[in-house]
Amino acid sequence: MTLGRISLVVCVVLLALAPLTLSPFRLGLLAKYLCFAIVAVGIALAWGQGGMLTLGQGVFFGLGGYAMAMYLKLKEAGSAGLPDFMVWSGVEELPALWKPFGNPVFALAAVVLIPGVVAFLLGLLVFRQRVRGAYFAILSQALAAAFVILLIGQQGLTGGTNGMTNFSQFFGLDLTDPNGQRAVYAITALVLGATFLVAKLLVRSRFGRLLVAVRDGEDRVRFLGYDPAVVKTITFTISAVMAGLAGALFVPVVGIISPALLGIVPSLELLVGVAVGGRFVLAGAIAGAIAVNYAKTLFSEDFAEGWLYLQGGLFVLVLVFAPKGLAGVVESARDRLASRRQTGPAPVEVTA
């Protein structure tokens, strides 16, 4: 498909040109949308391909984000100092939990490993017990709620409701400088590209076929001798790692991490982007996440009073008229085009 190749090249070129044409503020927003797009790829894998409706992706996003924020805060505070929020929360000594995060290698590993391990253990427990469908969705949502309560309750450890803010350095990059922001954008775009590639390879592999089979007929797959719990746990873990990476990038991009980003509502918002774009198509999920967040910015800037209604209206319209999302619209348009190209009347199915 040359058209597909061309469009891919166009996208890459546009993403590459963005730092030259956009103001630092708009570029920062685009980088934020790309962070959400990284989460969307993971959700499209778990939900679209694997049928696991995960309403708690905010938890993994948060685990990655807090791991990164802890490192950046310690770096900012220097060797002897305490992060600013600990000072006003009455903490006098650096808690033991924080100490290893002063090491950049540990922090980077934690960004990937903590969400991965949590998702892996959770997946093993849940999928072995054959919890699926709505029960899994409710469980993941409850996890998001509990996680937020835990973060808020531990103000001295986590910054409570405020979360953590005021980061000026990111591995030697100056976040207050437009060039530093451009570099962070570039990193985010590259991570999104890598995430997309990994997901694409996974979907095309034998494992990907097995995953779709588990989604469409878990019991049949089990009778054929495979263990669906393993397939689902691995996929869920990969999607959690993607969310963790996105959370870690979100911290330098936006400059804040707080429980307000991780609870039930933000977790649902992540899902809305994927639903709007089309959960069965990876590129659709990315486009949906970018589109929904771009619409949020656009609506709220132009209609500060009633933008939520506009955003809600958009979501309802998509669900009513395009239940498979924007990708579904594209798909049916292509099918129609293809059938029109065929000469003569529509082919008649011949059955033996």
Partner 1 sequence: MRSRTFSRGLLALLLPALLTTACVEEPGGGAGASGDEIKVGILHSLSGTMAISEVTVRDAELLAIEEINAKGGVLGKKVVPVTEDGASDWPTFAEKAQKLISQDKVATVFGGWTSASRKAMLPVFERNKALLWYPVQYEGLESSPYIFYTGATTNQQIVPALDYLAAQGKKKMFLVGSDYVFPRTANKIIKAYAAAKGIEILGEEYTPLGHTEYSTLVNKIADAKPDAVFNTLNGDSNVAFFKQLRGSGITPQTTPVVSVSVAEEEVKGIGPENVAGHLVAWNYYQTTTTPANDAFVKAFKAKYGADKVTSDPMEAGYNAVHLWAAAVAKAGTTEVEAVKKAAGGITIDAPEGTTTIDGDNQHVAKTARIGLVQADGQIKEVWSSPGPIKPDPYLKGYDWAGGLS
Q: Are strands 164-165 and 256-257 parallel, antiparallel or unpaired?
A: antiparallel
Q: Which two three-digit tokens encode residue 302? A: 């132009």
Least spacing, CB of residue 282 vs partner 1, in Å? 6
Q: Is 78 helix (H, G, I), strand (E, B) or coil?
A: coil
Smaller CB separation from partner 1, 125 or 197: 197
List the Cα angle 112/207/287 in 5-degree steps.
65
Q: What is the rounded distance in angstroms from the CA atom of residue 34 to the CA atom of residue 291?
A: 10
Least spacing, CB of residue 284 vs partner 1, in Å? 5
Q: What is the rounded distance in angstroms from the CA atom of residue 57 to the CA atom of residue 267?
A: 6
Least spacing, CB of residue 147 vs partner 1, in Å? 13
Smaller CB separation from partner 1, 116 or 255: 255
Q: Which two three-digit tokens encode residue 155? A: 């103000």
Least spacing, CB of residue 124 vs partner 1, in Å? 29
Least spacing, CB of residue 352 vs partner 1, in Å? 24
Q: Are strands 256-257 and 169-170 parallel, antiparallel or unpaired?
A: unpaired
Separation of CA 192 from chain center: 10
Smaller CB separation from partner 1, 143 or 229: 143
CA atoms within 13 A on the CB side of 14: 7
Smaller CB separation from partner 1, 113 or 329: 329
- Phi, psi for 173 (deg, rounded to 5): -90, 140
Taking the CA atoms of residue 120, residue 125, residue 128 and residue 133 in that order, the dihedral angle to the nearest 10 degrees is -90
Least spacing, CB of residue 59 vs partner 1, in Å? 17
Smaller CB separation from partner 1, 225 or 305: 305
Among 289, 307, 321, residue whose Cα is nearest residue 48: 289
Smaller CB separation from partner 1, 10 or 224: 10
Beta strands in 96-190 (DSSP E): 164-165, 169-170, 173-174
Smaller CB separation from partner 1, 174 or 227: 174
Least spacing, CB of residue 125 vs partner 1, in Å? 27
Least spacing, CB of residue 240 vs partner 1, in Å? 22
Smaller CB separation from partner 1, 28 or 123: 28
- 71 burial (CB, 10 Å; 0-12 / 13-18 / 19+) is buried
Q: Which two three-digit tokens encode residue 61? A: 């996003």
